[in-house]
């Protein structure tokens, strides 16, 4: 049973890094630091968008409009950290008794 929780924790940790990479990529794209016409850059951006958008879309629907600031990745990271903390401090000890 512990292996299942460790796998879930690893998946959440990897998704955290994907969210961070997506946020950094969007900043680099917005400030024209990276060439948006490059096929590799475009492929990476599309991949990151497809991986993160399904989780970010419901948060964006709930959040009020803050102008040009998108804090939905920060909120999703907080949710992921909460789930990981809840899992290791409450659920795992209760299951492994």
68-85 residue pLDDT tens: 889 999 999 999 999 999
pTM: 0.90
Q: How far is CA 63 from the centre of its chain?
A: 16
pLDDT of 66 strictly over 90:
no
22-31 residue pLDDT tens: 999 999 999 9
Structure confidence at residue 95 as a pLDDT band (50, 70, 90): very high
Closest to 1 (Cα-Cα) out of 97, 95, 85: 95
């Amino acid at each position: 049973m512990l292996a299942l929780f460790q796998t879930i924790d690893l998946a959440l940790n990897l998704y955290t890094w994907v969210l961070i990479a997506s946020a950094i990529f969007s900043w680099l794209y917005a400030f024209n630091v990276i060439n948006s016409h490059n096929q590799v850059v475009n492929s990476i951006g599309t991949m990151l968008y497809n991986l993160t958008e399904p989780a970010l879309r419901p948060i964006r629907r709930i959040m009020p409009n803050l102008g040009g600031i998108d804090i939905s990745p920060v909120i999703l990271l907080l949710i992921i950290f909460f789930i990981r903390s809840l899992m290791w401090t409450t659920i795992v000890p209760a299951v492994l008794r």
